[in-house]
Amino acid sequence: LATQEGQLAGARATVVDTNGRVVADSEVQLSALENEARHPEFVAALRGETSVVTRKRNDFGVAVLYVAVPVSGGAVRLAYPLADIDIATAHARRVLLLGSAIAALAGLAISWLAATTIARRA
């Protein structure tokens, strides 16, 4: 279930019980995982709060966005590498800049045509 949900969300999914013990993970074998109760996002989720935390993962040194929510019997956390989010943001920024440039050029062309038409009539 964690693997399926993680793939659907495009993120790593981790499920913990009420004691913070990992009961499912979409990417790592359970035997390789520690008790997750100490992580701030799980602390908040196990108190019944939704939590959003950004920090670097120790194993890769990559900044990761963690979102944890309480569920019946524990909590679920999704982990999104910020590099993926940065790539999507950069793409959106490029599309926006290109659209703005096209709109500005179209505005200049229309202004020039209007000005030359008015100047010929005068």
pLDDT value at position 2?
Answer: 53
Domain map (residue ranges) of the chain: 2-82
Q: Using 50, 70 and 90 to split pLDDT, how confident is the model at 49?
A: very high
- Calpha distance 30→14 (Å, rounded): 10
pLDDT value at position 80?
Answer: 87
| Inter-residue contact 58 to 36 (CB < 8 Å) | no
User: What is 2-82's CATH superfamily?
Assistant: PAS domain (3.30.450.20)
Predicted TM-score (pTM) of this structure: 0.61
**What digits encode the pLDDT tens for the residues 66-105?**
999 999 999 999 988 887 676 778 888 999 999 999 999 9
**What digits encode the pLDDT tens for the residues 2-45?**
555 555 657 888 899 998 888 888 877 777 777 777 889 999 99
| Inter-residue contact 13 to 76 (CB < 8 Å) | yes
**What digits encode the pLDDT tens for the residues 10-22?**
788 889 999 888 8
